[in-house]
Chains A and B, each alone.
Chain A
């Protein structure tokens, strides 16, 4: 099944000089004890000058190892087992320490995944850029002005002031821009980007990617970009190599490979990405069939979830507000203000917004982990007895604590590594004396074999750990489950199966799910109703069809327009948007006023009225419905097939 020789663009050329990257049968392994484990196996690829290569793959595919290998960097304990890697004509693993330094100075630079932790916290920005300006060594003024120029190039606000600041004084998106500026400072022949936008919000991601394609065009750099996001790869890369377990399974021109994938794994990958324009949960990948070498074709059917009939409320949140300010700061409002919504039995309600929109604060308040400044949170009587929830979890009786359970984003850090799966699941059963519940039953509920009870979290895969996290929550027989970004750390092939599991549990056990996420495609796949938050205020709510239909709040529209998906027209010019969220919500008026394209004077002073588009669809905006009817009509369901 493994293709023998692949060049990244599938063409044969006589002139080898124009290749920036040339990998020949590259293998990288590491030693554990006496065993050698291969991370990369027989990687052969080339990249022509001026082209952009995408490395796609799931966790454990070796894509990051491959990216750092291009800079001649290996993790401690790793070694090159076979082959060579040549970048800009230099055999990177044959370079001696001094030559390697010179190579990194002049030929290749890296934009790390998380600039927040990749910038030295104790050094000012200009020092960190100046370090890479080797040609201007010793000339402080020239360094400073070049650094300022670079910051302007990456469109950082106030570049002159930014020079003397420290990394922690910038937002995540700004830090990523600085990371790019630092990488560009060296004027590299090859720029390696390791998941450059993964930690960022959609709007910021779109802005950073636009910036990168602009820079690539004007500077004529070659790039290698690592990503797990097929949409991002399709938008950015001319060539693509799909990695699975350390091997390239398919490579070629991006559009060709993604539009017409040949390898079953690539086909599965493309099929399992949830899409905004295809409602429902995509099919999951059959890794076993791929392993067995079968010519597996993914099931093209997506699973359409049907919203539950009848509205039996489980949770109702009324005028909730949360305030982190110690004292009143003029011009700013509370972090979360006047948020109201309900979750019905068997229903999945998605809370959507960028980071800083207060979605996790609201979940924490419902769980009793966050002090509220006002409002009521009421749990309906689900047999266990309901009532208004006390502000903190210590003030709540056992039955109310039992009724609300949490599932966390990182199952690996939320499970005690030294406790078996059995202990983790048995605990809530004992604590709440749940009747008719047992560990094998709970494991069966999440489709795990009963024998897994004896395992430790470290012996499970990421998806299995998340299943255990769900089993632990469901074993308590709750009526409401708070799921905070539960699938965002998972590979797409696992994501679908977890979403299917949540769908099943919500229907079979009449569980209400409050699903918190920033990923609109996942919302489209699983949610019945959606609440859109901006700076701690609800700007729009409605059923999932209504939210993705043509009438939207300008902020929802911005979010939808920023999503980068497979099959989009990536060449279409994007509207210039302000991608920076204000640090704090305004005291009066509409929270979105500072970024809204439809802004008018009244928005800055008066809180927006509620426009009832339908009985279930509400938008808070000063504009009228005609203006809110957007151009993105193609996102309407069924207009495009994949």
Chain B
């Protein structure tokens, strides 16, 4: 069992490292370097050269990567080329905001979609299933910016319950942001739920067709017991990975929704950093989102491990 965990964690670390190398090299190959970026188009070549030296850009890429990684491991991710402040702090506060948004979305969205998927699977081809599946299909096919716009139209213009955009800036406190979380969260839940509902439904239907569920029914078990003891654990297994991918996508890729609502999260920061070519910020954000994907998948593996006795007790260990 320990080797299972150790192996998975080892691979995860390797994956993150690999992603970091890839992101670092990708940024190196972007046209224009940081020095000319900072000094602007009218800078003299000698000034650029001096700047390059100051920033250590003349060093070979490998040594720059190693020193970046060394600093990063100590929590120093470099300074923003735009504001001059610590990138770590900037990204950190954006990450907190995004985590708030993502957290609310995950808790509500995952629970909601698991329940809806389960109901849809259990009532296969009857009206609850048909309505849930149709809604999920709509949620999947309509892009999130449309969902977001419709939500704004409904809940902040027709019925002014929530603010349409976030006015608070990057450094706003949680209390300031909380009221404006709900609309972006709603938009994200719609998209996220669609995938999980469909996966959960399929997986519940598969499990219901299995012989062990038939046997459980023929044993005279009550419906709740059949659903929660016999169907749910097996049906959750394939769904876990879909949840993991979606959760990771939430944290790494909420760009569109965040920018519609001007939500001061990681997506908004990413867009701004790309526009201003703030390379250290881009680097850190990309690495963070790779890290999120890896961690989410790792968590999904561990959850699968807990749900699936075949993983916990391999047959050979008799």
Among A122, A165, A166, A169, the most chain B Cβ lie within 10 Å of the Cβ of: A122
In the complex, the chain B residue whose C-beta lies closest to that of A76 is: B124
Q: How far is the CB of A384 from chain B (nearest CB, A)?
A: 42
B212 lies within 8 A of chain A by Cβ = yes
Residues of B contacting A124 in the complex (Cβ-Cβ under 8 angstroms): 309
Q: How far is the CB of A70 from chain B (nearest CB, A)?
A: 10
Inter-chain CA distance A119–B318, complex, in Å, is 19
Among B213, B218, B222, the most chain A Cβ lie within 10 Å of the Cβ of: B218
Q: How far is the CB of A75 from chain B (nearest CB, A)?
A: 10
Residue among A112, A119, A131, A583 making CB contact with B221, cutoff 8 Å: A131
Question: With A101-B222, A122-B308, A132-B219 in contact, is A166–B313 under 8 Å at CB?
Answer: yes
In the complex, the chain B residue whose C-beta lies closest to that of A104 is: B220
Q: How far is the CB of A76 from chain B (nearest CB, A)?
A: 9
Residues of A contacting B230 in the complex (Cβ-Cβ under 8 angstroms): 120, 122-123
A160-184 with Cβ < 8 A to chain B: 165-166, 168-169, 182
Inter-chain CA distance A132–B221, complex, in Å, is 8
Inter-chain CA distance A45–B25, complex, in Å, is 79
Inter-chain CA distance A165–B313, complex, in Å, is 9
The answer on a CB contact under 8 Å between B315 and A122 is no
Residue among B211, B217, B315, B316 making CB contact with A117, cutoff 8 Å: B211
Inter-chain CA distance A120–B230, complex, in Å, is 6
Among A127, A131, A132, the most chain B Cβ lie within 10 Å of the Cβ of: A131
In the complex, the chain B residue whose C-beta lies closest to that of A97 is: B223
The answer on a CB contact under 8 Å between B219 and A120 is no
B67 lies within 8 A of chain A by Cβ = no
Q: How far is the CB of B126 from chain A (nearest CB, A)?
A: 11
A197 lies within 8 A of chain B by Cβ = no
The answer on a CB contact under 8 Å between A122 and B307 is yes
In the complex, the chain A residue whose C-beta lies closest to that of B124 is: A76
Question: With A102-B220, A186-B219, A583-B318 in contact, is A114–B307 under 8 Å at CB?
Answer: no
Residues of B contacting A168 in the complex (Cβ-Cβ under 8 angstroms): 309-310, 313, 315
B76 lies within 8 A of chain A by Cβ = no
In the complex, the chain A residue whose C-beta lies closest to that of B235 is: A122
Inter-chain CA distance A254–B315, complex, in Å, is 41
In the complex, the chain A residue whose C-beta lies closest to that of B307 is: A122
The answer on a CB contact under 8 Å between A110 and B309 is no
A109 lies within 8 A of chain B by Cβ = yes
The answer on a CB contact under 8 Å between B309 and A131 is no
In the complex, the chain A residue whose C-beta lies closest to that of B213 is: A120
The answer on a CB contact under 8 Å between B225 and A169 is no
A599 lies within 8 A of chain B by Cβ = no
In the complex, the chain A residue whose C-beta lies closest to that of B125 is: A76
In the complex, the chain A residue whose C-beta lies closest to that of B216 is: A120
A163-222 with Cβ < 8 A to chain B: 165-166, 168-169, 182, 186
The answer on a CB contact under 8 Å between A169 and B212 is no
The answer on a CB contact under 8 Å between A73 and B218 is yes
B275 lies within 8 A of chain A by Cβ = no
Inter-chain CA distance A425–B220, complex, in Å, is 49
Inter-chain CA distance A122–B307, complex, in Å, is 7
Interface residues on chain B, size class: 20 to 34
A597-636 with Cβ < 8 A to chain B: none
Residues of B contacting A165 in the complex (Cβ-Cβ under 8 angstroms): 313
A379 lies within 8 A of chain B by Cβ = no
Per-residue contact bits, chain A 98-142, to B (CB 8 Å; 1 contact, 0 not):
000111111001101010011111111001000110100000000
Q: How far is the CB of B288 from chain A (nearest CB, A)?
A: 35
Per-residue contact bits, chain B 200-238, to A (CB 8 Å; 1 contact, 0 not):
000000000011111111111110010001100110000
Residues of B contacting A106 in the complex (Cβ-Cβ under 8 angstroms): 220
Q: How far is the CB of A193 from chain B (nearest CB, A)?
A: 13
Per-residue contact bits, chain B 246-269, to A (CB 8 Å; 1 contact, 0 not):
000000000000000000000000
The answer on a CB contact under 8 Å between A121 and B234 is yes
Q: How far is the CB of B258 from chain A (nearest CB, A)?
A: 39
Q: How far is the CB of A344 from chain B (nearest CB, A)?
A: 39
In the complex, the chain B residue whose C-beta lies closest to that of A325 is: B316
Q: How far is the CB of B312 from chain A (nearest CB, A)?
A: 8
In the complex, the chain B residue whose C-beta lies closest to that of A102 is: B220
Q: How far is the CB of A100 from chain B (nearest CB, A)?
A: 8
The answer on a CB contact under 8 Å between A121 and B218 is no
Residues of A contacting B308 in the complex (Cβ-Cβ under 8 angstroms): 121-122
Residue among A71, A114, A119, A122 making CB contact with B218, cutoff 8 Å: A71
Q: How far is the CB of B292 from chain A (nearest CB, A)?
A: 29
Q: How far is the CB of B123 from chain A (nearest CB, A)?
A: 13
Residue among A118, A127, A134, A169 making CB contact with B215, cutoff 8 Å: A118
Residues of A contacting B219 in the complex (Cβ-Cβ under 8 angstroms): 104-105, 109, 131-132, 182, 186
Inter-chain CA distance A121–B218, complex, in Å, is 17
In the complex, the chain A residue whose C-beta lies closest to that of B233 is: A122
Among A110, A120, A123, the most chain B Cβ lie within 10 Å of the Cβ of: A120
In the complex, the chain A residue whose C-beta lies closest to that of B231 is: A120
Residues of A contacting B313 in the complex (Cβ-Cβ under 8 angstroms): 165-166, 168-169
Per-residue contact bits, chain B 286-318, to A (CB 8 Å; 1 contact, 0 not):
000000000000000000000111100101101
In the complex, the chain A residue whose C-beta lies closest to that of B317 is: A169
The answer on a CB contact under 8 Å between A166 and B222 is no
The answer on a CB contact under 8 Å between A101 and B220 is yes
In the complex, the chain A residue whose C-beta lies closest to that of B212 is: A120
The answer on a CB contact under 8 Å between B225 and A131 is yes
Q: How far is the CB of A106 from chain B (nearest CB, A)?
A: 8
Inter-chain CA distance A110–B33, complex, in Å, is 74
The answer on a CB contact under 8 Å between A118 and B211 is yes
Inter-chain CA distance A110–B214, complex, in Å, is 10
Residues of B contacting A73 in the complex (Cβ-Cβ under 8 angstroms): 214, 217-218
Residue among B215, B216, B309 making CB contact with A166, cutoff 8 Å: B309
The answer on a CB contact under 8 Å between B310 and A166 is yes
In the complex, the chain A residue whose C-beta lies closest to that of B318 is: A583
Residues of B contacting A110 in the complex (Cβ-Cβ under 8 angstroms): 215, 218
Residues of B contacting A182 in the complex (Cβ-Cβ under 8 angstroms): 215, 219
Inter-chain CA distance A110–B215, complex, in Å, is 8
Residues of B contacting A186 in the complex (Cβ-Cβ under 8 angstroms): 219-220
Residues of A contacting B212 in the complex (Cβ-Cβ under 8 angstroms): 117-121
A348-369 with Cβ < 8 A to chain B: none
The answer on a CB contact under 8 Å between B220 and A122 is no
Q: How far is the CB of B80 from chain A (nearest CB, A)?
A: 50
Enumerate 21 A-B pairs (CB-CB under 8 Å) in ascending A order. Answer: A68-B218, A109-B218, A112-B214, A112-B215, A117-B211, A117-B212, A119-B212, A120-B229, A121-B309, A122-B234, A123-B229, A123-B230, A127-B229, A131-B216, A131-B221, A132-B219, A134-B220, A168-B309, A186-B219, A186-B220, A583-B318
